[in-house]
Structure 1
Amino acid sequence: MPAEISTLQKPRELPGVRELLTDAVEAVGGTERDGQVRMAEAVGRAIRTGEHLAVQAGTGTGKSLAYLVPAIRHAVEGHTTVVVSTATIALQNQLVDRDLPRLAKALKKPLGREPTFAILKGRRNYLCMHRVHSGAPEEPEDSGLFDAFAVSRIGREVKRLHEWSSETETGDRTELVPGVSEQAWRQVSVSARECLGAARCPVGDDCFAEKARADAGRVDVIVTNHALLAIDALQEQRVLPEHDLVVIDEAHELVDRVTSAATAELTASAVSAATRRCGRIIDADTSDRLLEAGEGLALVLDDLPAERLDTLPHALGGAVTVVRDAAHACLTALGGERKEDVEEATARKLARSAVEEIHDTAVRLLDAFDADQANRPDVVWISKDTYSSSPRPPSLHVAPLAVGGLLRERVFARSTTVLTSATLALGGRFDTLARQWGLPPEPTSAPADDGTATDKPAPADDADDGLRWSGLDVGSPFDYGRNGILYVAKHLPPPGRDGLGDATLDEIAALIDAAGGRTLGLFSSMRAAKRAAEELRERLPYDILCQGDDSTSTLVSQFADEPRTCLFGTLSLWQGVDVPGPSLQLVIVDRLPFPRPDDPVASARQRAIEARGGNGFLTVAATHAALLLAQGAGRLHRSSSDRGVVAVLDSRLATARYGGFLRASIPPFWPTQDPAVARDALTRLDAAAPGRASTSTALR
């Protein structure tokens, strides 16, 4: 009898990863690639063994299908949920709007049912119907209080949001087109701390955020972002549903996104806003004490320069201590939840949320200076915005010096994790980023066989032994050596602090003239980008667009549509431009993208590593430069037919000791230091480009 029951209940055996990948590629009209197959099989093996996996997959590999197919198979077979985390909204939308719908239909027959998926964001990204119905409990941000136009604009946007609330089915901010300002959105949304909770909220049954979370708990694949993944790791209460597999796409941005999510800010205006929220809920003497503490903080910050703080100035330490104690008194007066009507409960919740944030940040700021320089958990700095047309008041920031411990304990120790990007093997090795992620510096070997059920080893007593990982570079289908040239202008003087020199501007002009426009200029600062644009508009016959002239998306579209156009800009263009074809045949990098010397987090991390006897420059600054340089160089090839030149006008790439590490981090283009070779190749490409009849044009 038991044997009969076992036979009757035997689960349906699903096709293997390779077979499913073939079905998926055929269904979407693609071509199966060797790197894609290797990656899919490696992801499947990682799922079986529980061993974490880092995969570098170059542009054109088809990595989305390579990780989605084994992930979906695992979810369907195990009746579980997998999480896919991305850094950018663009990739989130690509997965949810294009890749997953097509893949779900393609896999329906072989899997026996259609896989399901959902997108999940932080609570602040969803409309709060309680806020819509009850109205915002506070006035607009201080910056707009005395600006009649700003107030009226925000009012019009809030009115539009109220109208939209009766039409939307998801309440997701990204579905509102055109969008609204952050000030207006804050009037109709709440953070997790501010939320009453579905049980107490009068419209909890219609909560968009709760519905999104409930939907996510029932699907096979949840698409989220690195920020929410970080919040899930930072909070004791889990934000994401239970899962045993996480795929982190755009993993080269993971550390920065987690750092940003774990960064806190303390300002006098935030203290003032928290005091207003306390309103009539607590006695005036207690709330006035907090208000006065905020005013004292403002006076101290005004007298201090904008810089990283290695020691806590006596006056600042006193001001932050007063804020902490006053906030604690307010929290005591506010008390916990109690029986009261919804309006009073909402006001108390919002007040407590604001005051808790002030108190917790003040405590963290004071604790940051308890340890010695090498062992501090956080870095603290003061920022001042004195150059913009509407400068913000001074603010005090605190950020983690490292996030590897958090990721190790709250991500890798909980779920099998696959990390992937076109840029992970810096200097040809994965260990640089592995250390930042909190993984052991040396990878372990994955089993080569295709085990039938699970190859997961028994739990280890040693925490580090339990974190096994492997690295895999599946390459790219693009022939970088034949289709691209890396030109390093070794003859130019090293870049100085005064910005672009005349020799560098002459070099840029000559290269653009040879290319006939078709140039993406990646600059280390907006000042350099604007100066180059202004100077070269006078010298060249081509339209030169500069970041800031219009929205970035509009500029990129214009650049793609008009082949003889140039686009100059800074950080967001290094990673956010996807323009295949003849519009982009030259990428210019004015200088190696090291972090600014006054960047508080990068400089503090560098000093902490040096205090422990390590090489802070290579670990922090060179790694930062390698990541950005690889991403920037990757803008050149977005399809197999793309050809062109990446021109790095910083001679240190050829002469400095760290140059080899940086060169090994970017695609393997054919190298040259001869400007004539680069210009001649661009001239030939420009001549062949209009008709694109000869796609076999030689570069060399």
Structure 2
Amino acid sequence: MAEEKLNEIDGDSFQNTIKNVLEDFEFRDAQKEMMEYVKEAIDNSNYLMVEAGTGTGKSLAYLFPASWYVLNSNSPVVISTATIALQEQLINKEIPLINELWEEEIKAVLIKGRSNYVCLDKYYDKYNEHTLVDTKEARLLKEWFSKTNTGDWQEIEGKISTEIWQEISSNSESCLGYKCLNFKDCFVNKQKRRGANAHILITNHHLFFSDLKLKVEVGESFGILPEYECIIFDEAHHLEERALYAFGAKVQRKEILYWNYEMKRLLGGEPDFESERSLKLERQVHKLFNDLGKDHFKSYLFKEYPPSGFSELSRSLQKIAYYVEGFINREAQNPDKIENLANAFRRIQNNLDFILDTTKEDYVSWVEVNNKRNQYTLHSNPINASWHLNEYLYKNVDICILTSATLTVDDRFDYIKGKLGLEDCKSVIIPSPFDYKKQSAVFVPKNFPKPNENNYEDALIEGMLNLIEFNQGKALILFTSYRMLDYVYNELKERVNYKVLRQGQASKNEILKEFREDTYSILLATDSFREGIDVRGEALSLLMMDKLPFAVPDEPLIKARIEYLEKQGKNSFFSYSLPEAVLKLKQGFGRLIRHRNDSGIFAVFDCRIHKMPYGKVFLNSLPKCKIHDNFEQLKVD
């Protein structure tokens, strides 16, 4: 039986067993060490934070003890990640491998948010047999719907517009729950039933925290994840960011217009329906949200440019909610849908009032500006997530494992522990098994202009050209701004004989595919390529950054965090800006060496590393490598 094998298997026998399944499996002491720490935390119902260097094999290191736990308990394990790529790796590669080790199958399910599934009630309302909708997209949608077993957006993505999908996708606000006529066949409920029978549930950070919030605010039955006592966070350096957004409030134009449309659709046939109410709300919404973008080209804080007219909108939403409730007891109407409609207007009003209340010291209200899409969103988010994490998560979960390749600053966990409110959590560093001293070199030119000096851009181009020619291309260049990316791209494409690719000219996967296939190509990108990409071998043997990745201080949430820390008497640079930049530098460095046979150069064209006292924190936070400060020295080495 599997249970008999479980008692016998430890880190050594796990690796020996896997070797029988995978002939090219590499024995790793780091993986075995992490596995033993994770198993100890699970056995003792503890919290654990693990920084596991690139190449550790951390997913198997936590999956093996997790599978041991689920086979010996009646409780599932939830694994939450930040990226789709890692979720797919776990479900398609790692879980099947783990199943080779046990006689009893580990059932794993990928859990997605409601909006990924078609709502049967909405679909039948819009595309029933009497519908007059007969566009090409409608025909494609109907054909897909007649065949689908999952109701998953991914099956039809790219074939119909996101606008059409939003009209028929599921959401918690319009869900009738067990009162829905399609409750039994609902695709979201089918997912919940699969999840209820699974050993391991794999999801993403945003959905995980949104589910926590939904269960507290609306009720357990509206959540997607079943009860659990063990949670594993991979890519845990993203936890705070995702939690801040999930525990905040937002109001968008399209949300109000959607429910206004639903009001007309549900009540428009009533003889006493006052259509002018709907028209008035629509005009009011368009004017107010258009005004949010006037003379603004980037997001901003409420207190900098206080928006006007939204208190009146709040009162309008309140009146409409009361008005809609007056139709609940009509015989011709579905009272549950009318009640949902009224609740939706009331929920938007509550969110709006919450955002408009700028007296909350621990929250920040701001406007997200996207002029390209004519999209403006009102937000209110907590400045610090530790209280919410403690209240919603830590009080309710016995076992919590947090892991990532980038958790420490200067080999200390103080910063991440403070952000997450886990000061007493056990923490360990598992160094990478790679020999960075032999496999990599770090180049930071010392006699070089500072980024704010006039001759910096010219020096940057020459410095990059030297390295590109020396390495014969094969380079990924990461930038802190699109402006600098555009400048360097225009220069390089005229001055090098290698293919120059840039973020945005195609999808991320398409660009990476071309970059891998054209070994000598050069790829220019920003933050989204700083992590979550895996390019092994010669194609990525030179990684360059234009400068240290300090965050732009005028972004609303960053500005609010800095002001919040300063009010507390803390130095915001050393307690926030510096550690955030260090973690980003580590994430970028992690793209270079992906295998024990890889080698390469990591270059940062920022002399502040040599000239400013904080520079050593960046170098101390990287793996131990050879460090060069001039190009001639690098070439000789």
TM-score by length of 2: 0.90
Contact 1:129 1:165 survives alignment (8 Å): no
How many Å apart are 1:295 and its aligned residue? 5.0
- 2:232 corresponds, among 236, 247, 267, to 247
- 2:404 corresponds, among 421, 443, 466, to 421
Cross-structure match for 2:210: 231
Q: Does 1:27 align with 2:7?
A: no
Give the distance between the partners of 1:336 and 1:49, measured in 2 at CA: 56
Cross-structure match for 1:323: 313
How many Å apart are 1:554 and its aligned residue? 1.0
**Where do residues 215-364 of structure 1 align in structure 2 (5 Å cutoff)?**
215-235=194-214, 236=216, 237-238=219-220, 239=223, 240-268=225-253, 270-279=255-264, 281=267, 283-284=274-275, 287=278, 290-291=281-282, 293-294=284-285, 297-298=288-289, 300-301=291-292, 305=296, 308-309=300-301, 311=303, 316=307, 319-335=309-325, 344=334, 348=338, 351-352=341-342, 354-364=344-354
User: Gapped runs of 5+ residues in structure 1?
Assistant: 1-9, 138-151, 444-468, 682-699
Q: Secondary structure at the match of 1:204?
A: coil
Cross-structure match for 1:460: none
How many Å apart are 1:351 and its aligned residue? 3.3
Give the distance between the partners of 1:342 and 1:624, measured in 2 at CA: 58
Structure 1's 324 and 639: CA in aligned 2 closer, same or farther, altered over 3 A? same
- 2:193 corresponds, among 184, 201, 214, to 214
How many Å apart are 1:163 and its aligned residue? 1.7
**Where do residues 480-491 of structure 1 align in structure 2 (5 Å cutoff)?**
480-491=436-447
Structure 1's 155 and 24: CA in aligned 2 closer, same or farther, altered over 3 A? farther
Whichever residue aligns with residue 512 of structure 2, its letter is: V
How many Å apart are 1:293 and its aligned residue? 4.5
Cross-structure match for 2:40: 45
- 1:639 corresponds, among 595, 608, 611, to 595
User: Gapped runs of 5+ residues in structure 2?
Assistant: 268-272
Give the distance between the partners of 1:499 and 1:215, measured in 2 at CA: 60
- 2:486 corresponds, among 530, 545, 570, to 530
How many Å apart are 1:601 and its aligned residue? 0.4
Contact 2:489 2:502 survives alignment (8 Å): yes
Give the distance between the partners of 1:159 and 1:262, measured in 2 at CA: 39
- 2:586 corresponds, among 620, 630, 642, to 630
Cross-structure match for 1:684: none
Q: Secondary structure at the match of 1:205?
A: coil
Of the structure 1 ranges 121-130 and 601-610, higher mean CA displacement relative to structure 2 is found in 121-130
Give the distance between the partners of 1:498 and 1:180, measured in 2 at CA: 49
How many Å apart are 1:127 and its aligned residue? 2.2
Cross-structure match for 1:163: 143
Contact 1:483 1:644 survives alignment (8 Å): yes
Structure 1's 155 and 349: CA in aligned 2 closer, same or farther, altered over 3 A? farther
**Where do residues 508-519 of structure 1 align in structure 2 (5 Å cutoff)?**
508-519=464-475
How many Å apart are 1:326 and its aligned residue? 1.8
Give the distance between the partners of 2:327 and 2:575, measured in 1 at CA: 48
Structure 1's 180 and 480: CA in aligned 2 closer, same or farther, altered over 3 A? farther
**RMSD value, Cα:** 2.8
Of the structure 1 ranges 156-165 and 618-627, higher mean CA displacement relative to structure 2 is found in 156-165
Give the distance between the partners of 1:486 and 1:664, measured in 2 at CA: 12
Structure 1's 593 and 259: CA in aligned 2 closer, same or farther, altered over 3 A? same
Q: Does 1:555 align with 2:548?
A: no
Deviations 1:37-94 (A, max 9, x none): 1111111111122221111111211111110111111111012111000111111111
Contact 1:308 1:380 survives alignment (8 Å): no
How many Å apart are 1:365 and its aligned residue? 1.1
Kindly tell me the number of residue pairs found equivalent between the two proteins: 615
* % identical aligned pairs: 29
Cross-structure match for 1:672: 628
Whichever residue aligns with residue 374 of structure 2, its letter is: R
Cross-structure match for 1:603: 559
Structure 1's 326 and 304: CA in aligned 2 closer, same or farther, altered over 3 A? farther
Cross-structure match for 1:123: 114
Structure 1's 470 and 272: CA in aligned 2 closer, same or farther, altered over 3 A? same
Cross-structure match for 2:378: 396
Deviations 1:321-361 (A, max 9, x none): 22222212222233399577897457536634642442122
Cross-structure match for 2:270: none
Contact 2:327 2:333 survives alignment (8 Å): no
How many Å apart are 1:284 and its aligned residue? 4.6
How many Å apart are 1:603 and its aligned residue? 1.2
Q: Secondary structure at the match of 2:598?
A: coil
Give the distance between the partners of 1:99 and 1:595, measured in 2 at CA: 35
Give the distance between the partners of 2:159 and 2:210, measured in 1 at CA: 25
How many Å apart are 1:559 and its aligned residue? 0.8
Deviations 1:595-623 (A, max 9, x none): 11221101111110110011212232222
Contact 1:23 1:107 survives alignment (8 Å): no
Of the structure 1 ranges 555-564 and 305-314, higher mean CA displacement relative to structure 2 is found in 305-314
Structure 1's 302 and 632: CA in aligned 2 closer, same or farther, altered over 3 A? closer
Cross-structure match for 1:448: none
Deviations 1:265-284 (A, max 9, x none): 33455434433332263645
TM-score by length of 1: 0.82
